[in-house]
């Protein structure tokens, strides 16, 4: 079975997707982490999103792997380096959105994702899982929430992940910018699939959203 969970930045889809995958015993794919890892790699190599030649070589060289450690934590490896914390910065998030607009990048990462989930039970999470990558998924969910609430959640997540305090107002501005980029890009813009179940998480806890999804799966 394949279940997709899409939505904008800060809506809580990662937390929800991990919880649902745990309850169902499914594997979990964080597609956004793949774009972030690629953006980080390109940044380290000083490669811009419009440098087609260098970008093609980077896409051949890159190896992204998801590993669950002994503590049950999901870790992201870029080639041989654990970059789980490195890819969560706001700078890398904004950079990932730029690379996500590049057709070559999307095509390569989409094929990676399709190979990864083939003939397996997976929860996939991202921005175009149900609309573009897996249009034939068994269940599709789209999470949304008020931007102010999303900014507060994102600020808390960054504080917990990076151990630093962040200004929710600044995060809100960045979320609005990211929303605009994601919703207006020509390639696979962010929007709910026609057959997606839309859940407004503004006033819902993680447990509420997880139970909502579980109850809808037959």
* Per-position pLDDT tens, the chain of length 218: 999 999 998 898 999 999 999 999 999 999 999 999 999 999 999 999 999 999 999 999 999 988 887 777 789 999 999 999 999 887 898 899 889 889 999 999 999 999 989 989 999 999 999 999 999 999 999 999 999 999 988 888 777 777 777 788 888 998 898 888 889 888 888 999 999 999 999 999 999 999 999 999 97
The whole-model pTM stands at: 0.86
CATH superfamily entry for domain 2-201: P-loop containing nucleotide triphosphate hydrolases (3.40.50.300)
Backbone φ and ψ for 46, nearest 5 degrees, come out as 55, 40
Describe the strand order of the beta sheet including 81-82 as a list of residue ranges.
Answer: 64-68, 74-78, 81-82
Contact 12, 151 (CB under 8 A): no
Secondary structure of residue 1 in the 3-state scheme: coil
Pick from 5, 9, 2: nearest CA to 180: 9
Q: What is the CA radius of gyration of the chain?
A: 16
Residue 163: how many CB atoms within 10 A of its CB? 8
Q: What confidence tens digit (pLDDT) does each residue in 78-126 have? A: 999 999 999 988 789 889 988 988 999 999 999 999 998 998 999 999 9
HSE of 135, CA atoms in CB hemisphere, 13 A: 5
Interatomic CA distance for residues 20 and 26, integer angstroms = 8
Burial class (CB in 10 A: 0-12, 13-18, 19+), 207: exposed
């Amino acid at each position: 079975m394949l279940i997709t969970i899409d939505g904008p930045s800060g809506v809580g889809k990662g937390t929800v997707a991990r919880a649902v995958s745990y309850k169902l015993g499914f594997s979990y794919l964080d597609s956004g982490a793949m774009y972030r890892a690629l953006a980080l790699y390109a940044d380290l190599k000083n490669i811009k999103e419009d440098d087609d030649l260098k970008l093609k070589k980077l896409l051949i060289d890159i190896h992204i792997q998801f590993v669950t450690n002994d503590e049950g934590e999901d870790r992201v490896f870029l080639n041989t380096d654990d970059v789980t914390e490195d890819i969560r910065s706001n700078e890398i998030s904004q950079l990932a959105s730029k690379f996500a607009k590049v057709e070559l990048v999307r095509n390569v990462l989409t094929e990676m994702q399709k190979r990864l989930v083939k003939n397996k039970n997976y929860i996939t999470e991202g921005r175009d899982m149900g609309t573009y990558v897996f249009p034939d998924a068994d269940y599709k969910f789209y999470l949304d929430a008020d931007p102010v609430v999303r900014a507060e959640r994102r600020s808390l997540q960054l504080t917990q992940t990076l151990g630093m305090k962040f200004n929710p107002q600044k995060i809100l501005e960045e979320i609005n910018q990211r929303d605009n980029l994601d919703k207006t890009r020509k390639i696979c813009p962010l929007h709910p699939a026609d057959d997606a179940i839309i859940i407004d998480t503004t006033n819902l806890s993680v447990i509420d959203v997880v139970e909502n999804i579980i109850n809808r799966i037959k």
